[in-house]
Amino acid sequence: MSFAKTTSLGVIACPGGENFANQIASHLSEIYQHRYDRKLRYTSRLYSTTPEKVQRYLNFADDLLSHRVRAVGPADSQRSPTYKIPCEFIRFANGEIKAEILQSVRDLDIYLVQDVANGMPVKIGDEWLPQSVNDHIITLMTAIDAAHQAGARRISLVLPCYPYSRQHKKRSREGLSASMIGRIFENLGVARIITLDIHSREIEHAFASLVLENLHASYQILKTVISRIDLINEDLVVVSPDTGAIDRNKFLADSLYKPLALLYKERDYSKISSDASNSNIKSVRLLGDVEGKAVLMADDILGTGGTLIKAMKAIRGMGARKIVCTVSLPLFSGEAAAYLDEAFSQGYFDLLIGTNAVNLPESVLERPWYQSADVSSLFAKAINRVHHNRSVSPLLDNSRIIQKMMREKERPQEPDLFSGMN
């Protein structure tokens, strides 16, 4: 890695992914700055010189090896890297999308950021247009091709919400669309997809060469939870809302040293869940005890909210004192926010925590029952590690960092000796 010149990493935001891409780029700059400062301090001590001289030597070495005839910046100051690559998207009258990258990306490691679940209007050209998941995918495909045509060395996708992830298994004559989408990206030359809490881990088995990095938001979510409830002293039980979420909730229960319970739902698969009031759940049973306890319940996706609201009602009816729910991907499909408003007003839950992996309107973010957990730094760390060929494993297992956070919360606070003085 070069510490003095701009890195060979570039971030391109597709329409809908701008907010998340800007946050990732900001965190990447912080990571670079921290590493650069440590390098200067260490090298200056090692060679008994000043950080200013080390910085000048680093710039000199890079300029000497660079193909440029002229220097790329001042000799005595730091040349901070720029990660964000400008890209323009144009929509033709017939609906076709064109992507044009506005600066050279030849031989760069490009990370395309797209929030395919963003249902709000996004700016394409001079128009603000609502985009479906399929619109976002086509836009992403045009950007992938533009990066290839521009000579990018390697292309990776940052898709916090993996599209079509709920279509991962067959019950009858239906397609496996989750693997189909991945194979399309693979055939377009994508090397890697970085995503968050994918609905089914079996999806990654469908690829021949494409690598899927499945990040987990458990630590970031628990950091937000612990600011609202006492995870150490509360009489808390972790409840899995269904059998599909059992691994996620078992991980939380083991990390927090709390008991685990399971809600078992019987479904009528001849019906399709259209909204929260019309789901295909016939009955709910609980394996465990929640009476008089605080409940922490985690799921990966919040769609219409029907499954989660049914679980909330069942648990509250079984005597739970406090209910906190967490979701990695808060899609808020259809009228989900309105149904959760009603459930909150009726006392079925106390707090819902989701991540900022999906861009949500202010009307949702300002709800008294909702709080957002930031996962952009997690993606920035993953991109940094992948770009420099370092292992991503430390980011995939959050148990140690969660337990460290809990130990720090357990430490007794030192008394303030000056609290009684004016």
DSSP assignments along 66-115, one per residue: SS-SS-SS-SSS------BPPEEEEE-TTS-EEEEE-S--TT-EEEEE--
- Which is higher by pLDDT, 199 or 250? 250
Indicate whether 276 pLDDT > 70.
no
| pLDDT recorded at residue 270 | 61
As a whole number, mean pLDDT of residues 123-130 equals 85
As a whole number, mean pLDDT of residues 237-250 equals 90
CATH topology of domain 1-216+375-399: Rossmann fold (3.40.50)
Q: How far apart are CA 330 and CA 342, in angstroms?
A: 17
Q: How would you classify residue 86: left for phi > 0, otherwise alpha for psi between -120 and 50, otherwise beta? A: beta
What six digits make up the tokens of 290? 């929640």
Q: Kindly indicate the confidence band of residue 422, based on its pLDDT and cuts at 50, 70 and 90.
A: very low
User: Strands 97-101 and 87-91: what pairing?
Assistant: antiparallel
Q: Count of CB atoms within 10 A of residue 243's CB?
A: 11
Q: How far apart are CA 292 and CA 19, in angstroms?
A: 41
Indicate whether 252 pLDDT > 80.
yes
Q: Encode pLDDT of 362-386 as tens digits.
A: 999 999 999 999 999 999 999 999 9
| pLDDT recorded at residue 366 | 94
Q: Kindly indicate the confidence band of residue 123, based on its pLDDT and cuts at 50, 70 and 90.
A: confident
As a whole number, mean pLDDT of residues 121-149 equals 92
Q: What is the mean pLDDT of the chain?
A: 87
CATH class assigned to 218-374:
alpha beta
Give the domain ranges of the chain: 1-216+375-399, 218-374
- Which is higher by pLDDT, 173 or 153? 153
Q: How would you classify residue 138: left for phi > 0, otherwise alpha for psi between -120 and 50, otherwise beta? A: alpha
Indicate whether 4 pLDDT > 50.
no
Question: What percent of the chain clears pLDDT 90, i.e. is strictly above it?
Answer: 56
| Locus of tokens 């996962």 | 375
Q: How far apart are CA 366 and CA 372, in angstroms?
A: 10
Helix ranges (DSSP H) in 304-346: 306-317, 336-345
Indicate whether 419 pLDDT > 50.
no
Q: Kindly indicate the confidence band of residue 418, based on its pLDDT and cuts at 50, 70 and 90.
A: very low
As a whole number, mean pLDDT of residues 189-193 equals 96
Q: Encode pLDDT of 224-236 as tens digits.
A: 998 888 888 889 9
Nearest to 154, CA basis, from 121, 89, 105: 105
Q: Encode pLDDT of 46-103 as tens digits.
A: 999 998 898 888 888 877 877 766 766 778 887 777 899 999 999 999 989 999 999 9
Q: How far apart are CA 25 and CA 9, in angstroms?
A: 10
Query: Considering only 24-38, 168-182, 189-203, which range has the smallest mean pLDDT?
Result: 168-182
Q: Kindly indicate the confidence band of residue 282, based on its pLDDT and cuts at 50, 70 and 90.
A: low
